[in-house]
């Protein structure tokens, strides 16, 4: 796939999970571990994102998310372009080290 035909996007996952009971805490931990192992980076508390390459990759990662959902709480996904992600405005704080160092232009697909 040539550089011109690649369409890098971001898949953002927002979640609000209960952590009242021991089972709730375990479900939260397992879901968070899944996100990290599947290549998501924490953008801020309960917001994770990863770079995807087109709609086929989006479908694949949505299926993985569906199989790993916790039994309770709220989990939402948002797909945005890399350009939209790069235009994010910081009102307080600044980008994390990972956000500054890795962009879609630096990805190498094998």
CATH of residue 46: 3.30.70.240
Does residue 40 lie within any of the structural domains? yes
The total number of structural domains in the chain stands at 1
Residue 50 lies in a domain: yes
Asked if residue 53 is part of any domain, the answer here is yes
pLDDT of residue 86: 87
Question: How does pLDDT run across 50-74, given as a tens digit for each residue?
Answer: 999 988 899 999 999 999 999 999 9
The domain in which residue 71 lies consists of 8-106
In a domain, 1, yes or no: no
Residue 39 in any domain: the answer is yes
Residue 2 lies in a domain: no
Q: Answer whether 9's CB lies under 8 Å from 51's CB.
A: yes
pLDDT digits (tens, 9 = 90+) for 1-53: 445 556 899 999 999 999 999 999 999 999 999 999 999 999 999 999 999 99
Report field, pTM of the whole predicted structure over 0.85: no
Nearest to 14 by CA among 46, 50, 42: 46
């Amino acid at each position: 796939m040539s550089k011109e035909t690649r369409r890098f996007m971001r898949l953002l996952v927002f979640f609000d999970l209960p952590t009242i009971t021991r089972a709730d805490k375990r479900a939260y931990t397992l879901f968070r571990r899944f996100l990290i192992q599947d290549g998501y980076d924490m953008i801020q508390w309960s917001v994770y994102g990863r770079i995807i390459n087109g709609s086929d990759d989006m479908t694949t990662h949505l299926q993985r998310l569906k199989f790993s959902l916790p039994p309770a709480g709220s989990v939402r996904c948002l797909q945005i372009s890399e350009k939209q992600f790069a235009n994010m405005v910081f009102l307080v704080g600044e980008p994390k080290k990972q956000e500054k160092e890795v962009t879609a232009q630096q990805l190498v697909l094998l």
